[in-house]
Amino acid sequence: MKIIVSGASGLIGTALAKDWIAGGHEVVRLVRKTAPGMAGIACWNPGAGELDPCILDNADVVVHLSGENIAQGRWTAARKARILDSRIKSTECVVQALLRAPNPPKALLCASAIGYYGHRGEELLTETSGPGTGFLAEVCQAWEAATRPASDRGIRVVNLRFGMVLSGEGGALRAMLPAFKLGIGGVIGSGRQYMSWIAMDDLIGAIRFLLGDESLSGPVNMVSPHPVTNTEFTKTLGRLLHRPAIIPVPAFAVRLALGEMADALLLASQRVEPARLLDAGFSFQYPGLEAALKRFLP
């Protein structure tokens, strides 16, 4: 296949591009700056809505992962505007290029997130569950809505609702490890909030599955079938590292340090099930947390 990918330098994009190339696919990375003659690279300017439709011509699929990192820095009004704009403007840019391409790709796989569901306690959430409230829920709704002109034109659109991705190369797990290795990791807030996660291997496998199954479109939860509470996650990680994990982090302290971001990323509870992947027959290599953590711990 010929695959166009944005956000290829990120944690997920890097892993996917490596897998696709190893599988014999042609990968074209969308970047903001390029040098003449660089193979597999195409230039775009999502903020200005600039993407040459000919770049997408005769490609099989576009995988759109571009967007500002939501976990870097407090959520000031300006930062929240950048988080939203980086997703909506880049998606609109990709969709408009798709619609203008002479021979457009048949599919668009566009990143989204389980933030769509908001804070939902112990409620079991599937792709049929309605949206929640809060900033991230609003971002995800607008993000997914920005893909609608493509699906209205008959292009297969899959909205990839990512949970927390476990990887040895970066992301949340790498950020947690220093504290846990020092024995100062602990439960955050009440510890009852659910964390919906997925091992990077399964995320890559699931996207490979989605590329091949043309019957799947719309939202797809990219999470393991076994979400855990923050307490379960903390105890499992501490046990595998042979370190105590008994120093709690009170909710007020997290809010004091991170502001609004604390409630959205660390204290919100999202018990999400990958119903559509399971119904379609996808098999997870790491469905349980302990085996997934062992895969990535040094």
Two structure tokens written together for 80: 């929240």
Q: Are 104 and 154 in contact (CB under 8 A)?
A: no
Residues 6+ apart with CB under 8 A from 9: 29, 31
Domain at 2-166+196-224+271-285, CATH class: alpha beta
The average confidence (pLDDT) of the chain is 96
Q: Are 127 and 187 in contact (CB under 8 A)?
A: no
Residue ranges of the domains in the chain? 2-166+196-224+271-285
Q: Which of 30-39, 60-69, 190-199, 248-257 has the lowest mean pLDDT?
A: 30-39
Q: How confident is the model at residue 41 (pLDDT cuts 50, 70, 90)?
A: very high
Minimal CA–CA distance to 202: which of 123, 125, 291, 87?
A: 291
Burial (CB count within 10 angstroms: exposed 0-12, middle 13-18, buried 19+), residue 63 = buried
Q: How many CA atoms lie within 13 A of 220 on its CB side?
A: 27
Q: How confident is the model at residue 144 (pLDDT cuts 50, 70, 90)?
A: very high
DSSP 223-242: S-S--EEHHHHHHHHHHHHT
Residues 6+ apart with CB under 8 A from 174: 167, 168
- For 28, the 3-state DSSP assignment is strand
Minimal CA–CA distance to 212: which of 287, 126, 284, 277?
A: 277
The rounded distance, in Å, linking the Cα atoms of 295 and 173 is 12
Residue 286, Cα to own-chain centre: how many angstroms? 17
Give mean pLDDT, residues 96-121: 97
Q: How confident is the model at residue 18 (pLDDT cuts 50, 70, 90)?
A: very high
pLDDT digits 0-9 by tens, 232-273: 999 999 999 999 999 999 999 999 999 999 999 999 999 999
